[in-house]
Structure 1
Amino acid sequence: MDKIAVLIPCYNEEKTIEKVISDAKKALPEAVIYVYDNNSSDKTVELALRAGAVVRHEYKQGKGNVIRRMFREIDAMCYIMIDGDDTYPLENARKMSERILNYGADMVVGDRLSSTYYEENKRPFHNFGNSLVKKSINILFGSEIQDIMTGYRAFSYLFVKTFPVLSRGFEIETEMTIHAVNNNMQVENVIVNYRDRPEGSESKLNTYSDGIKVLFMILKMFRQYKPLSFFGIMAVILTLGSVIFFIPVLRDFVYTGLVAKFPTLIVCCFVELAAIQSIFAGLILHNLQVQDRRDFENKLNCAYDSYQYKCQ
């Protein structure tokens, strides 16, 4: 088992990969550096090998697929994940690893948004999207994570071996964050600097399509992890709609003693029935979620036993 493993997912990063590896060696000389190539068509693999990294491959396209393979194949006491585009200086890597190794953190988030991100990043919609995602997750899940979409993180062995990777692409960072918060894992923020990509290096993240995927991921995980809240909100919305359309029907009945709009009355009744069904669906799924939490704690205990055995 490695003490520290630096994980670098890569797709066409020939302009920056050597510098990232070199910086990682300087910041964490005891670490093993792994570059996982995701079907690069340039010289990323050749340059990574020349720089002294362990190079492996994931042939299924997508960052989520790369991270799934990384987490499955590598055993380490501490994992540092960083992008291969040289946007994250590694001067904070030691501090992040110490939070894992010495203070029992499960995930350490490299917080760009509290430092230089908004000055360095040249894509205004990226700035808006990061703020929107951060606020959405913190409100829906009651967390205080300062940067949801950062690709600079540190993980414990227990987090890596119990995290079910379901995302294929850039939604993976959102999935990691919600998983950690929902399962009451110790999450810490470390403020890190950010610098924009060097000239000639292009982002693989599409502002609009990937942004929509992230928002749908948040909504889907809110439904899965907080079913009572999700279906409770739906029940309230349906009830309000039913009441709004029922008021004119009730008013006419009070004044005339007749129901003049039977179709509206019938629709209101069905909408309210749907609201009641939403409440019961939320209650049932909430109980299942409680059982999932118990199962996860058992899984965490098994992972801890495995960790203790491998550290001997």
Structure 2
Amino acid sequence: MDKIAVLIPCYNEEKTIAKVIRDAKAALPEAVIYVYNNNSKDRTAEIALAEGAIVRNEYMQGKGNVIRRMFREIDALVYVMVDGDDTYPMDSAPEMVDLVLNHNSDMVVGDRLSSTYYQENKRPFHNFGNNLVRGSINKLFGCNIRDIMTGFRAFSYEFVKTFPVLSKGFEIETEMTIHAVYNNMQIDNVVIEYRDRPEGSESKLNTYADGMKVLKTIAKLYRNYKPFGFFLIFSLVLALISIFFLVPIVTEYWRTGLVPRFPTLIVCCFIMLSAVQSFFAGVILSTLAVNNRREFEMQLNMLQRHKETDMMK
């Protein structure tokens, strides 16, 4: 088991990967540096090897697939994940590592949005998207994460080995955050500097397509982790629709004793039944979610014993 592992997912980062590796070595000289090459068509892997990093490959395209591979293969007391595009200075890495090793942090978030991100980033829709995602997650899950989409984080062994990677692409950062929040894992924020990509280095993000994937991921994870709240919203919407169309029918019946719109009445009844079903679906799934939390805590205890055994070897 490594003490510190620096994990760098890469796709066509030949212009910046050498500097990122050198900066990582300077900031964390005791760390083992892993570069995971994701089908790069340039010299990323060759340069990383020349700089002394351990280079491995993930052939399924997408950042989520790369992170799944990294988390499966690497055992370490603390993991530092940083993008290979040189947008995150490594100066804050020692502080992030210290929080994991000595202050029980499970995930340390490199907070760009509280420093230079809005000045450095030249894509206004990315700024809007970051704020929208951050506000949505903090509201839905009752937390205070300052930067949801950052690619600079540190993790504990327990987080990495219990995190089920489901996303394939850039929505993985959102999934990480919600996993930590829902399972009551300790999250700390460290304000970091951010710099835009150097000239000649191109972003792999598609503002609109990846933005929609992130929003879909939030909705899906809210359904999975907070099923009562999710289905309660549907239940209330359906109930309001039913009542809206039912009130005129009932009013007409009280006034004349007649029901002139039987088809509308029947549809309203079915919509109200759907509302009741949604409510009880939320209750049942919420109970199952509580049981999943219990199993997760037991899994954490087993991982802790496994880690202590590995450290004694």
Q: TM-score, normalised by structure 2?
A: 0.99
Aligned position for 1:204: 204
Runs (4 or more) in structure 1 with deviation over 3 Å come to none
- Cα distance in 2 for partners of 1:268, 1:204 equals 48
Describe the SS at the equivalent of 1:208: helix
Aligned position for 2:242: 242
Unpaired segments ≥5 residues, structure 2: none
Aligned position for 2:16: 16
Aligned position for 1:70: 70
- Cα distance in 1 for partners of 2:289, 2:17 equals 42
Aligned position for 1:273: 273
Match runs of 1:135-284 below 5 Å: 135-284=135-284
Identity percentage of aligned residues = 68
- Cα distance in 2 for partners of 1:301, 1:200 equals 47
- Cα distance in 1 for partners of 2:56, 2:157 equals 20
Describe the SS at the equivalent of 2:122: coil
Give the superposition deviation at 1:136: 0.5
Query: CA-atom RMSD, angstroms?
Result: 0.7
- Cα distance in 2 for partners of 1:114, 1:86 equals 19
- Cα distance in 1 for partners of 2:248, 2:85 equals 61
Describe the SS at the equivalent of 2:207: coil
Opposite residue 87 of structure 2, the aligned amino acid is T
Q: TM-score, normalised by structure 1?
A: 0.99
- Cα distance in 1 for partners of 2:182, 2:134 equals 15
- Cα distance in 1 for partners of 2:295, 2:304 equals 14
CA deviation profile, 1:25-49 (whole Å, cap 9, x unmatched): 1111111110000010100011111
Aligned position for 2:37: 37
Opposite residue 273 of structure 1, the aligned amino acid is L
CA deviation profile, 1:205-252 (whole Å, cap 9, x unmatched): 111111111100000000000011111111111111111111111221
Opposite residue 200 of structure 2, the aligned amino acid is G
- Cα distance in 2 for partners of 1:94, 1:215 equals 32
Describe the SS at the equivalent of 2:48: helix
CA deviation profile, 1:90-134 (whole Å, cap 9, x unmatched): 110000000000000000000111111111111111111110000
Aligned position for 1:106: 106
Residue 51, structure 1, aligned to residue 33, structure 2: no
Give the superposition deviation at 1:260: 1.3
Residue correspondences, number: 312
Describe the SS at the equivalent of 2:149: coil
